[in-house]
Amino acid sequence: MTQPADDLGIEQRGINVIRGLAMDGPQRANSGHPGTAMALAPLAHVLFTRILRYDAGDTRWFDRDRFILSNGHASILQYSMLYLTGCGLELADLEQFRQFGSRTPGHPEVHHVPGIEVTTGPLGQGLAQSVGVAMAERLGRHRFGPEICDHHVFGFCGDGDLMEGVSHEAASLAGHLGLGRLIFVYDDNHITIDGATELATGDDAGKRFEAYGWHVTHLGEAANDLEALESGLRGAMAESERPSLVILRSHIGWPSPHRTDTKEAHGEVLGAEEIRLTKELLGLPPDEDFYVPEDVLAYYRAAGTRGRAERNRWLSHLEVMDEVDRDRFEASLSGSGLKGWADKLPSYEAGGKIATRKAINEVMLATAGGIPGLVSGAADLTGNTGTKLDPDDAMSVANPGGRQVHYGIREFAMASAMNGMALHGGVLPVGGTFFVFSDYCRPAIRLGAMSQAHAILFFTHDSIGLGEDGPTHQPIEQLAALRAMPELRVIRPADANECAAAWQLGVDGVGLTALILTRQDVPVLAGTAERAPEGVPRGAYVLETENPGSPPDIVLVGTGSEVQHCVTAREALASEGVSARVVSFPSWDLFESQDESYRRSVMPPGVPTLAVEAASSFGWDRYADATVAIDHFGASAPGSRVMSEFGFTGENVAQRARDLLATDNKEER
């Protein structure tokens, strides 16, 4: 027989209420993952009532502890805690779990619900983003002192998180950096959707994390032992030199009579009869859904205020902060520049030549002093990708405030950590790799775009123009792939002046920006110094035209390194009496955001249009009648030779323009 509810202590009654909500939310939705939430209810209870430093009245307080649910399929657990502790959710929100327009989507989404720090669900990425969150916390503590930034980062993860490759990358980076404020509990429940984890893995996670440099604690069968749970977490908090993994053997779906330790408890609702039986075991009213007695709610609401005094102390420290430091803190918090930072943007004279990867580095270095939150790094390609900020200030255990981050060959972890840093606040992260390797970090780019993480990605070696490394390293379809991603600002600058304008957009804008940059030198084009500052933010602009004020005979549209070929072709056509307009088109998404009248003024309807881009032609049919593009993989040879062989020359562009005009005239006849 189970113990009567009235005889249970308030903590155990609260835990049972959490388990009831974990069953009822998915059951009402007929969708969800109740089992993990049920098993981890005691752990969540201990964290939110005994450990976590937060104030439910201000879920964005900067110096709060952060909690990240990497196994985001157990979102009903986090939503239940946010409701119970008074962080902004209501019981009605739990009742609308996973429904259209509700505040409780299937996986946690930052900016959608108070108290959610990062978007999780794709397994492994919550843990990886947490590494960035911990990096940002340590940076803030080093720069502004413990009175302003001094907190921990807690997280839960499961077997799926630790199987995904990004968790290996991120855990290795965290161990190398000695992120002692990062604490994860690994829910070792031995169950995946397919069945027992033994079907697919036999890893010893503890030994693996020890090898990464983590402090590892084995709690064993302690999922229902509140004192052991608290002791494990506090022991991890005392370990200041290494990140910590607390391994907990839980039983998914406990105490369901027929679903405990089953794969069905993972991704299926329990069903009305099983819920009734389980509630009887827990001493909950078996016929009442979303049961939360007043004394239990009052208990958790009191726990939600446990950090209020500390928040008030933090506010008092902020109020007496030196004005200069306060300005730097506020700019860091928003990931923006100090007043007048953009005055340092360089301008380049026409006629010179510089690769846009080098130009962006010059632009970043010229303005870095005015962007206090700036942190830059690369996936082992610092000198190649324009991300070199200060080689003598590399982030390390010995130099925790370093602005130069060496991510190693960990593209996915880099992009994930950048998301975490940006969403923590206090940092404007810049990261770089070769454009073709955007494939390795695409899932993190997607989450960053969805999360509106304020970060800037430098993707260099952007076309077949990179040359000898050949097709394996020459991006073809990657530009179309990134352009297809919602909420991602993609900019491919034509020259150094467009780089300066793009950098300003990335710093001053919101959300995630990807700059697509050349390996090879490209000319600084006439007119960009004057027109790019206004034109780049609009996505496309008229760079050259034969007869201003009159419709052209043809429009030549180029992006990046191909704009120069449009300029050369325009000159050749002009000698033949053909009026050609050159449009530099660095950003599709920015152009699409302009009003129709501006779009028509740049690319007049009815005028034959030729697009020139050393990438896949996919998508250009929305703007152009014909393309000079590459719809096959490249070749290994010097970059100029490869570009020439595949038609990216002024001569070929001019000929393709003549062909298009001839076809257009023939159709008119």
Q: Annotated active-site positions, please?
A: 411
CA of residue 407 relative to chain centroid, distance: 16
d(CA 103, CA 95): 10
DSSP string, 476-493: SSHHHHHHTSTTEEEE--
What tokens appear for 613 in the block?
A: 């881009």
What tokens appear for 29 in the block?
A: 């939705």
């984890």: which residue's tokens? Answer: 197
Alpha helices in 350-495 (DSSP H): 356-367, 411-424, 438-451, 478-483
d(CA 485, CA 495): 24
175 closest CA partner among 383, 419, 410 = 410
CA 373 to each of CA 30, 89, 345, 514, 600: distance values in angstroms, whole numbers, following the listed order = 45, 32, 17, 18, 39
The distance between the two most distant Cα atoms of the chain, rounded to a whole number of Å, is 96
395: CB partners within 8 A, 6+ apart? 135, 139, 177, 375, 377, 401, 402, 403, 404, 405, 406
d(CA 634, CA 531): 33
Q: With the CA atoms of 261, 262, 267 and 270 taken in that order, what torsion angle do they form, in degrees rounded to the nearest 10?
A: -90
DSSP H or E stretch at residue 41: helix 41-46
478: CB partners within 8 A, 6+ apart? 435, 436, 438, 439, 459, 615
What tokens appear for 270 in the block?
A: 């329990």
How many CB atoms are located within 10 Å of the residue 65 CB? 20
645 closest CA partner among 660, 624, 630 = 630
Report helix, strand or coil for 431.
Answer: strand
Is residue 450 within 8 A of residue 396, CB to CB? The reply is no
d(CA 194, CA 32): 16
551 closest CA partner among 514, 515, 601 = 601
Rg (CA), the chain: 28
DSSP string, 593-622: TS-HHHHHHHS-TTS-EEEE-SS--TTGGG
d(CA 459, CA 622): 25
Burial (0-12, 13-18, 19+ Cβ within 10 Å), 294: exposed
Report helix, strand or coil for 449.
Answer: helix
Report helix, strand or coil for 60.
Answer: coil
444 closest CA partner among 350, 514, 364 = 514
Between strands 541-544 and 580-584, the pairing is: antiparallel
Is residue 639 within 8 A of residue 467, CB to CB? The reply is yes
